[in-house]
Amino acid sequence: MNIRPHYFNLAILFFTGLILALIVFILITMYIRNRRGGKLKKWKLMANLLIRKAIFFEDDGDNNKTIQLTQRTHQLLNADPHFRELLTGELLNARKNISGTSAGNLKQLYLQLSLQNFAVERLKSLKWYIKAQAIQELAVMGIKEQITHIYRFTNHAKELVRMEAQMAVVKLYGFEGLRFLDVVSYPITEWQQIRLLHELSHTPAENFSGIEKWLKSENKTVIVFALKLARDYHRFELYHAITACLPDHDPDVRLQAIITLGELYRDDTAALLISRLLKEDIKHQLAIVKVLKNIAAEQDMPVLLDLLNTGNPQLQLGVAKSLAGLGPEGMKALQHHPLADKHPLDQIINQIKSEVAV
């Protein structure tokens, strides 16, 4: 054996040293954490007292009146960045859950403590999560002065920075903030779309513009988002622009257009969707059938009955539900279908009957 045990001895020594170092590091970390735990509790209490004071603060019409701070708070703010971080965090949490005058008071406290200066400084950080945190902080506290900076980040290469900047402009400017959709070249994830729609739901819906342009965007995720906006804000005047999305080559756009038409439909929508049915894959066919359940009318009955002949039981179930949705006539037609007593339609009809009974 030519391998020298010497090398292994060195490796063993190295591993052992590393093990000891890691164990010591773990124990010291835990010790510091446990010690800091007590201090953090005290600080948290101080921060919460201050926040409570700010929430119930009344300026009696005197705009120059400031929220009184204790000497200890002043000292800590200047001396300990950890305390500043904690206080900022607590302020943000409180601000997220409070609106009205109290929210304004929290902003006043934030400005009084000059915390926005630290956030602006962090906007310049090269670390994406620090930059994103700063954007979120400024947006939550409603600091509009940095909007030019923040707006530039709405198409930032780092996903989180981009997402927080998009949220910030919407938080600060409502529907007007959506103008970033004109230029955004990166995809807007479904998660981000949910967040944006949630944020917009807190803003009074004016007759905002832009959807028509976004429906023609090069960015397919912008089209999907625009379709959701049209649906949520009942923009019936965009009907033709929405139907124009039905033959789009992107499956997500087509799916969203189908779902949107389920909310913004006209007399001819059912026929239009039925005409698309056979050109689509099963996922989109099922989406169409689901929409038809709510919008199909008696004149669509012959086509629906014809669709029962497709071999796919899932589709048959959907079509049968659409027929049942047409009322007693639809149910009767369903039961008289030539396949009505054959599997699987017989079971499907039984299920629908029992659902109707419940």
Partner 1 sequence: MSWQTIITDIFTYCILGYSVLLLMCYVFIGIYSIGETNNYLHKNSFTDYRILAGSTQAPSISILAPAYNEGANIIENVRSLLSIHYNNMEVIIINDGSRDDSLDKLIAAYDLYKADFFVNQQIATKNVRGVYKSRNNVYRKLWVVDKDNGGKADALNVGVNIARNDYIVCIDVDCILEQDALLKLAKPFLENPGQRVIATGGVIRIANGCEIEGGRLTRINLPKEFLPRVQTLEYIRAFLLGRMAWSRLNGLLLISGAFGAFDKEIVIKCGGYDHRTVGEDMELVVRMRRYMEERNEPYKVAFIPDPLCWTEAPATFKILGRQRNRWTRGTIETLKFHRVMFFNPDYGLLGMVSYPYWFFFEFLAPIVEFTGFVSFLVFSLFGWINWSFFLTLLAFIFSFGFLYSVFAILMEVLTYNQYKRQKDIVNLVITAFLEPLIFHPFVVWAAIKGNIDLLRKKNSWGEMTRQGLSQKKSSN
Name the residues that contact partner 1, by CB under 8 A. Answer: 1, 3, 5, 8-9, 11-12, 15-16, 18-19, 22-23, 25-27, 29-31, 33-34, 128-129, 132-133, 136, 160, 163-164, 187-191, 193-195, 197-198, 221, 228, 283, 313-314, 317, 344, 347-348, 350-351, 353-354
**How far apart are CB 352 and partner 1 at their closest, in Å?**
9
Comparison of 132 and 304: residue with beta carbon closer to partner 1: 132
Task: From residue 33, give the alpha-carbon distance in Å to each of 25, 76, 300.
Answer: 12, 19, 69
In whole angstroms, the minimum distance from the beta carbon of 346 to partner 1 comes to 9
CB of 28 to partner 1, least distance (A): 10
Looking at beta carbons only, is 50 or 95 nearer to partner 1? 95
Return the number of the residue (190 or 206) whose C-beta is nearest partner 1.
190
Q: How far is the CB of 53 from partner 1 (least distance, A)?
A: 26
Q: What is the DSSP string of 136-191?
A: HHHHHTT-GGGHHHHHHGGG-SSHHHHHHHHHHHHHHHGGGGGGGGGT--S---HH
Q: Among candidates 177, 189, 129, 126, which has minimal Cα distance to 150?
A: 177
Q: Which is nearer to partner 1, 67 or 130 (CB)?
A: 130
Taking the C-alpha atoms of residue 256 and residue 245, their distance in angstroms, rounded to an integer, is 9
Site of tokens 């500043």: 84
Which is it for the CA torsion 122, 126, 130, 132, positive or negative? positive
CB nearer to partner 1: give 5 or 328: 5
CB 146 within 8 A of CB 165: no
The span from the CA of 139 to the CA of 119, in Å, is 11
Give the nearer residue to partner 1 in terms of CB position, either 163 or 292.
163
CB 122 within 8 A of CB 133: yes
Specify the residue, 9 or 78, whose C-beta has the smaller distance to partner 1: 9
The distance of closest approach from Cβ of residue 274 to partner 1 in the complex, given in angstroms and rounded to an integer, is: 22
Distances (CA, A) of 106 to 47, 92, 102, 112: 12, 9, 6, 10
- Closest CB 345 distance from partner 1, rounded Å: 9
d(CA 8, CA 81): 46
Give least dist CB 206 to partner 1, A. 23
- Asked whether 254 and 284 are in contact (CB, 8 A), the reply is yes
